[in-house]
């Protein structure tokens, strides 16, 4: 389909391992957002990209989290030395362009479980 | 600063009854407001949005919401609930300016249960 695609859909890993989550936005969408959804914290903003640059990284919870976007399309969110509190659903969204009025289209998320 | 409060983490209605999900917002700039729905193991789907203009906004699946500036509210309604409406609903306000432009601030969500 033409929606936002995230992979993997589920990831189980051991504490201390690194994980990489992938997001393919809708073709032509220049803005890309990462959010985290957990029972305790609800939906939290992590980072967004306009093109390949990330003007707002303020939501990243620690320096173990990083993200990049290449070619203005695919983005990867990397979590190093995972901790149990990183267990959550990581959602990616894209919009046609950056703007407060632009609706964001979400993928189905990656459910991350840290053992 | 932007924030959203959704009153009632759980709402239960009978099939055919009115659905009312409450949302109040706080925004330092004129707000753009959104309602999203999330079905189990899926992402968020946009129901409707308010940007400017008409304060009564119609969305998909028979839902509508009214922007009331004086009450800082954006409540979601549907005249007659259907079993397929059972899901979690999120109200969100968009970041208004600068580096937060476009960033969404979400409420904690309201789980809607529809009884037959």
Per-residue pLDDT, A58: 84
Per-residue pLDDT, B95: 72
- Whether the ω angle into residue B27 lies within 30 degrees of 0, i.e. cis, is no
Of B36, B101, B107, the CB nearest to A98: B101
The verdict on A58 touching B (C-beta cutoff 8 Å) is yes
How far is B51 from chain A, CA to nearest CA, in Å?
6
- Model confidence over B3-38: pLDDT tens digits? 999 999 999 999 999 999 999 999 877 889 999 999
Whether B33 contacts B74, CB under 8 Å: yes
Give chain B as a DSSP string: --EEEEE-SEEEEETTS-EEEEEEEE-SS---EEEEEE-TTS-EEEEEEE-SS-SEEE-GGG-EEEEEGGGTEEEEEESS--GGG-EEEEEEEE--SGGGTT-EEE---EEEEEE-
Per-residue pLDDT, A1: 54
Cα gap B77→A77, rounded to integer Å: 36
Mean pLDDT of the region A68-85: 94
Please give the backbone phi and psi of residue A29, each rounded to the nearest 5 degrees, phi first. -80, 125
Mean pLDDT of the region A43-51: 91
Cα gap B89→B85, rounded to integer Å: 10
What residues does B111 pair with on adjacent strands?
A: B10, B88
CB burial of residue B65 (10 Å; 0-12, 13-18, 19+): buried
- Model confidence over B84-106: pLDDT tens digits? 999 999 999 987 666 667 789 99
Of B101, B105, B108, the CB nearest to A99: B101
What residues does A43 pair with on adjacent strands?
A: A37
CB contact under 8 A, A48 and B46: no
Chains A, B: CB contacts within 8 A come to 65
Cα gap A30→B106, rounded to integer Å: 22
| B101, B108, B111: best to mutate for the A interface, most A CBs within 10 A | B101
- Model confidence over B46-85: pLDDT tens digits? 999 998 888 999 999 999 999 999 999 999 999 999 999 9
CB contact under 8 A, B103 and A107: no
Whether A83 contacts A97, CB under 8 Å: no
Cα gap A2→A25, rounded to integer Å: 9
The verdict on A95 touching B (C-beta cutoff 8 Å) is yes
Higher pLDDT pick, B94 / A21: A21
| Total Cβ atoms within 10 A of residue B3 | 12
- Model confidence over A25-37: pLDDT tens digits? 999 899 999 999 9
What residues does B29 pair with on adjacent strands?
A: none
Helix (H) or strand (E) holding A114, with range, is: strand A110-114
């Amino acid at each position: 389909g033409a929606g936002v695609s995230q992979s993997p859909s589920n990831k189980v890993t051991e504490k201390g391992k690194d994980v990489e989550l992938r997001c393919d936005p809708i073709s032509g969408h220049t803005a890309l957002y990462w959010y985290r959804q957990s029972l305790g914290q609800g939906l939290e903003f992590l980072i967004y990209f306009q093109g390949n640059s990330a003007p707002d990284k303020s939501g990243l919870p620690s320096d173990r989290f990083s993200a990049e976007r290449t070619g203005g399309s695919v983005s990867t969110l990397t979590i190093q030395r995972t901790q149990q509190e990183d267990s959550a659903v990581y959602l990616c969204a894209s919009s046609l362009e950056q703007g407060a009025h632009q609706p964001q289209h979400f993928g189905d998320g990656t459910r991350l479980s840290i053992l | 600063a932007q924030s959203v409060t959704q009153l009632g983490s759980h709402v239960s209605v009978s099939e055919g009854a009115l659905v009312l999900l409450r949302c109040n917002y706080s925004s330092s700039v004129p707000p753009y407001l959104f309602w999203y729905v999330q079905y189990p193991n899926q992402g968020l789907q946009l129901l409707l949005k308010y940007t400017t203009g008409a304060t009564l906004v119609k969305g998909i699946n028979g839902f509508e919401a009214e922007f009331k500036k004086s009450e800082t509210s954006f409540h979601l309604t549907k005249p007659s609930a259907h079993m397929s409406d059972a899901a979690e609903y999120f109200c969100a306000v968009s970041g208004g300016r600068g580096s937060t432009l476009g960033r969404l601030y979400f409420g904690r969500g309201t789980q809607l249960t529809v009884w037959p």
